[in-house]
Protein backbone atom coordinates (compact mmCIF):
# COMPACT_ATOMS: atom_id res chain seq x y z
CA UNK A 1 0.00 0.00 0.00
CA UNK A 2 1.41 3.41 -0.95
CA UNK A 3 1.02 6.48 1.23
CA UNK A 4 1.71 9.84 -0.45
CA UNK A 5 1.61 13.23 1.30
CA UNK A 6 -0.03 15.44 -1.26
CA UNK A 7 -0.65 19.06 -0.18
CA UNK A 8 -2.30 20.32 -3.40
CA UNK A 9 -4.96 18.91 -5.71
CA UNK A 10 -3.77 16.28 -8.18
CA UNK A 11 -3.44 17.14 -11.87
CA UNK A 12 -3.70 14.61 -14.72
CA UNK A 13 -1.49 14.30 -17.75
CA UNK A 14 -1.26 11.91 -20.72
CA UNK A 15 2.03 10.06 -21.10
CA UNK A 16 3.17 7.60 -23.77
CA UNK A 17 6.00 5.17 -23.96
CA UNK A 18 6.66 5.06 -27.69
CA UNK A 19 7.29 2.03 -29.95
CA UNK A 20 11.08 2.36 -29.79
CA UNK A 21 10.93 1.66 -26.05
CA UNK A 22 8.34 -1.12 -26.18
CA UNK A 23 10.55 -2.93 -28.67
CA UNK A 24 13.04 -3.39 -25.81
CA UNK A 25 11.43 -4.58 -22.53
CA UNK A 26 14.41 -3.34 -20.50
CA UNK A 27 13.84 0.21 -21.79
CA UNK A 28 10.09 -0.03 -21.20
CA UNK A 29 10.73 -1.21 -17.62
CA UNK A 30 13.25 1.60 -17.02
CA UNK A 31 10.73 4.26 -18.09
CA UNK A 32 7.88 2.65 -16.15
CA UNK A 33 10.12 2.51 -13.06
CA UNK A 34 10.94 6.21 -13.47
CA UNK A 35 7.19 6.99 -13.43
CA UNK A 36 6.74 5.08 -10.17
CA UNK A 37 9.93 6.44 -8.59
CA UNK A 38 8.72 10.00 -9.15
CA UNK A 39 5.53 9.35 -7.21
CA UNK A 40 3.12 9.54 -10.09
CA UNK A 41 -0.14 7.73 -9.50
CA UNK A 42 -0.97 5.62 -12.53
CA UNK A 43 -4.71 6.19 -12.88
CA UNK A 44 -4.97 4.31 -16.20
CA UNK A 45 -2.47 2.27 -18.20
CA UNK A 46 -2.92 0.33 -21.43
CA UNK A 47 -0.92 -1.05 -24.31
CA UNK A 48 -2.20 -0.15 -27.75
CA UNK A 49 -1.35 -0.07 -31.41
CA UNK A 50 -1.92 2.93 -33.63
CA UNK A 51 -2.87 2.90 -37.31
CA UNK A 52 -1.31 5.66 -39.43
CA UNK A 53 -4.63 7.56 -39.35
CA UNK A 54 -4.42 7.77 -35.54
CA UNK A 55 -0.84 9.04 -35.86
CA UNK A 56 -1.82 11.65 -38.44
CA UNK A 57 -4.73 12.87 -36.32
CA UNK A 58 -2.78 13.08 -33.08
CA UNK A 59 0.19 14.89 -34.62
CA UNK A 60 -1.77 17.04 -37.12
CA UNK A 61 -0.17 20.15 -35.58
CA UNK A 62 3.09 19.02 -37.20
CA UNK A 63 1.81 18.22 -40.70
CA UNK A 64 4.05 19.96 -43.18
CA UNK A 65 7.14 19.73 -40.97
CA UNK A 66 10.04 17.81 -42.52
CA UNK A 67 9.79 15.02 -39.92
CA UNK A 68 5.99 14.56 -40.06
CA UNK A 69 5.93 11.52 -42.37
CA UNK A 70 8.62 9.64 -40.44
CA UNK A 71 6.86 10.53 -37.18
CA UNK A 72 3.50 9.19 -38.43
CA UNK A 73 5.14 5.98 -39.68
CA UNK A 74 7.21 5.53 -36.51
CA UNK A 75 4.28 6.02 -34.14
CA UNK A 76 2.26 3.37 -35.99
CA UNK A 77 5.19 0.96 -36.28
CA UNK A 78 4.54 -1.02 -33.10
CA UNK A 79 2.83 -1.18 -29.69
CA UNK A 80 2.84 1.78 -27.28
CA UNK A 81 1.94 2.13 -23.62
CA UNK A 82 -0.48 4.96 -22.79
CA UNK A 83 -0.93 6.31 -19.26
CA UNK A 84 -3.09 8.78 -17.39
CA UNK A 85 -0.73 9.99 -14.68
CA UNK A 86 -1.69 11.98 -11.56
CA UNK A 87 0.62 14.23 -9.55
CA UNK A 88 0.39 17.73 -8.07
CA UNK A 89 2.40 18.98 -11.08
CA UNK A 90 1.83 16.10 -13.47
CA UNK A 91 2.21 18.02 -16.76
CA UNK A 92 5.33 19.95 -15.90
CA UNK A 93 7.03 17.17 -13.91
CA UNK A 94 6.63 14.57 -16.68
CA UNK A 95 7.83 17.05 -19.29
CA UNK A 96 10.96 17.76 -17.22
CA UNK A 97 11.64 14.08 -16.55
CA UNK A 98 11.37 13.38 -20.32
CA UNK A 99 13.85 16.12 -21.22
CA UNK A 100 14.14 18.08 -24.49
CA UNK A 101 12.31 16.83 -27.59
CA UNK A 102 15.46 16.37 -29.66
CA UNK A 103 17.47 13.48 -28.35
CA UNK A 104 20.78 14.83 -29.55
CA UNK A 105 20.17 17.99 -27.51
CA UNK A 106 18.84 15.97 -24.55
CA UNK A 107 22.01 13.88 -24.46
CA UNK A 108 24.17 16.98 -24.30
CA UNK A 109 22.03 19.31 -22.21
CA UNK A 110 19.90 16.97 -20.10
CA UNK A 111 21.68 13.73 -19.24
CA UNK A 112 19.62 11.71 -16.75
CA UNK A 113 16.34 12.53 -18.48
CA UNK A 114 14.39 9.77 -20.24
CA UNK A 115 15.13 11.09 -23.72
CA UNK A 116 18.72 11.97 -22.85
CA UNK A 117 19.43 8.50 -21.52
CA UNK A 118 17.18 6.27 -23.61
CA UNK A 119 16.13 8.17 -26.77
CA UNK A 120 17.44 6.91 -30.13
CA UNK A 121 16.90 9.87 -32.47
CA UNK A 122 14.89 13.11 -32.59
CA UNK A 123 11.87 11.21 -33.87
CA UNK A 124 12.36 8.00 -31.94
CA UNK A 125 12.61 9.77 -28.60
CA UNK A 126 11.00 7.16 -26.36
CA UNK A 127 8.21 9.14 -24.72
CA UNK A 128 5.46 11.70 -25.12
CA UNK A 129 3.89 13.95 -22.51
CA UNK A 130 1.13 16.55 -22.76
CA UNK A 131 2.61 20.04 -22.96
CA UNK A 132 -0.20 21.85 -21.10
CA UNK A 133 -3.35 21.26 -19.03
CA UNK A 134 -5.43 21.88 -22.15
CA UNK A 135 -3.38 19.38 -24.21
CA UNK A 136 -3.72 16.87 -21.39
CA UNK A 137 -7.54 17.07 -21.53
CA UNK A 138 -7.52 16.64 -25.31
CA UNK A 139 -4.94 13.86 -25.31
CA UNK A 140 -6.55 11.90 -22.46
CA UNK A 141 -9.82 11.95 -24.43
CA UNK A 142 -7.92 10.78 -27.54
CA UNK A 143 -6.45 7.71 -25.83
CA UNK A 144 -9.11 7.04 -23.17
CA UNK A 145 -12.46 8.17 -24.68
CA UNK A 146 -14.33 6.29 -21.95
CA UNK A 147 -12.55 8.20 -19.15
CA UNK A 148 -14.54 11.09 -17.66
CA UNK A 149 -12.21 13.90 -16.61
CA UNK A 150 -15.05 15.80 -14.91
CA UNK A 151 -16.08 12.78 -12.89
CA UNK A 152 -12.50 12.04 -11.89
CA UNK A 153 -11.73 15.57 -10.78
CA UNK A 154 -15.04 15.96 -8.94
CA UNK A 155 -15.39 12.53 -7.34
CA UNK A 156 -12.09 10.63 -7.49
CA UNK A 157 -9.29 13.21 -7.13
CA UNK A 158 -9.84 13.64 -3.38
CA UNK A 159 -9.89 9.85 -2.91
CA UNK A 160 -6.63 9.35 -4.80
CA UNK A 161 -5.09 12.32 -3.00
CA UNK A 162 -5.98 11.16 0.50
CA UNK A 163 -5.62 7.46 -0.25
CA UNK A 164 -4.80 4.87 0.73
CA UNK A 165 -3.99 3.50 -2.73
CA UNK A 166 -2.16 0.39 -3.83
CA UNK A 167 -0.16 -0.42 -6.95
CA UNK A 168 -1.48 -3.38 -8.93
CA UNK A 169 1.38 -5.18 -10.73
CA UNK A 170 -1.04 -6.86 -13.13
CA UNK A 171 -2.85 -3.80 -14.44
CA UNK A 172 0.21 -1.53 -13.93
CA UNK A 173 -2.20 0.92 -12.26
CA UNK A 174 -2.80 2.42 -8.81
CA UNK A 175 -6.20 1.62 -7.30
CA UNK A 176 -8.07 2.82 -4.23
CA UNK A 177 -7.81 0.36 -1.35
CA UNK A 178 -11.50 1.05 -0.64
CA UNK A 179 -12.40 -0.20 -4.12
CA UNK A 180 -10.24 -3.33 -3.91
CA UNK A 181 -12.32 -6.25 -5.19
CA UNK A 182 -13.67 -8.03 -2.16
Ligand X SMILES: Nc1nc2c(ncn2[C@@H]2O[C@H](COP(=O)(O)OP(=O)(O)OP(=O)(O)O)[C@@H](O)[C@H]2O)c(=O)[nH]1
Q: Which is nearer to ligand ADP, 109 or 158 (CB)?
A: 109
Q: Answer whether the bond into residue 54 is a cis peptide, omega within 30°.
A: no
| CA dihedral (64, 13, 118, 78) positive or negative | negative
CB-wise, 121 or 171, nearer to ligand X? 121
Buried b (16+ CB within 10 A) or exposed e, 45-72: beeeebeeebbbebbeeeeeeeebeebb
Taking CB under 6 A as the rule, does residue 55 contact ligand ADP?
A: no
Q: Does 101 bind ligand ADP (CB under 6 A)?
A: yes
Q: Which stretch binds ligand ADP (CB under 6 A): 48-56, 81-89, 120-128, 152-160?
A: 120-128
Residues that bind ligand X (CB under 6 A): 66-67, 70, 102, 104, 121-124
Residues that bind ligand ADP (CB under 6 A): 62, 67, 71, 101-102, 122-123, 125, 128, 131
Amino acid sequence: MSMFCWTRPLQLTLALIKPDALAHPIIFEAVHKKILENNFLIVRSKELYWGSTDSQKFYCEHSGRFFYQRLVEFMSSGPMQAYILAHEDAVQLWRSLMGPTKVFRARLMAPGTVRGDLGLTDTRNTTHGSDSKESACREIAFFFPEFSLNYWYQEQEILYRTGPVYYDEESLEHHLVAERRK
